[in-house]
Structure 1
């Protein structure tokens, strides 16, 4: 039980050789919010009680992105961020399970028989949230999972939903909070500031040359963005967390081609190294002002300096 190796596999069977006894939490875990963290805490308890290795199984892509792509929600966390968050919580064995239409056609019993109740692997316990559904047509729930597990001497724990205020914490509720700019509410339910991550790309080159404020232009991968505006933020560069200010919008003052494009630009206060092509995480702390149109770049540049000062002050409290 002292194995500290990090393993990320696609199917539970791939863990059999190294971890023949596993306790498994199953879900999507988008955002790894405080409700998910309650499930993972229960998973660790079950693993200790049954002398097993705790394993987190999450589906990727999001099931709705496969079954009803036109209704797929924007993600709260990229795959890389989700893995890091789970590992930060002490989970070292992860199953990034490929979700497909074929998988969705399996009955609850077929799903368990095919992927969990297999030679060489002993599942000692399952752990899911109370609203979790599985199997064709979402016909299975925690009660059915417990019934099917009991026939195999597998314990099942169905963890009650966590509430914040009057409502249940959920990825959907957090998406609503982020989209509305309610960052404090999103932060409370996530247990950390909301963040996005992406690759730094070449932008218009206006930030450094014209506005004297060099920025990293972030290309995200379908993550949910807060409303247009300026935010006090931090950037995670490797293992470093650096203060900065971030802009989300379509740059109306400097756009001249009439072709709106949403951009995310991060200015780090004390960082001058080349970031092009590198992954960076942007953590949002405080909304400072909405996106605005300025008469000229000189007016915009002056406002940016005021934004930087406001962001520095805001981050002193964080």
Structure 2
């Protein structure tokens, strides 16, 4: 459940649902496994996983949700091989050429024949609504994936006005200043990786990993005009992450100070552990995210 990424949205109005009423709404779009002839299926599922029934897991002011997606695995090579065999058989038996329209029909028949026997895979995307701060945080590596989550919520709620945060200063410019000066705000520390891009050369980028970011090599790239599009940071020795120029967080990790607090919390069941972890994680993010938005406005920290 611990988030590895964060795409943050701000709610444009107070969230009108509590856990119970939101659960009732989500039940209208509850997850159902793929049917025999379905390629994919999706819907909200209990955050606690198998055996649980609640579609909303509340902890304090935060409401955890999980969007589950299932898809059938039909390798393109298997379909292509079956299609080739059928086409060759028809052409040999009937002494004629199989045209594209007929091939498309044959392909559809093959897919329908294979679907009931196909393996499936599923994945869950977690997100939670922080009703106190007016946020939605989604554990998604891209905004496109996060938008799938928000669109699904919007569909089931009828309306769900949210938007990504807007920084007064472009994050790329702020991160470039931090790295140029070796001086992020006092409660942040530079990590050991970054991505530098050339604003005048499309696709021109330099990826630095496991490198001292104050080194001459990095400084020379900055002097040549490259800009920072991703930067590894640590906040208060509690949380590390890679900040993207689009304001998303990637490779989020909760460090020893947080894990020690987690270890001190007594839990007897999986549900209690989930509840405790969610409380700890949401508390850390409720402190980190406002600070991060603040330093994007005032990069003097």
**Bigger RCO (CA 8 Å, 6+ sep):** 2
TM-score past 0.5 threshold: no
**TM-score (normalizing by structure 2):** 0.22
Structure having the higher Rg:
2
**TM-score (normalizing by structure 1):** 0.21
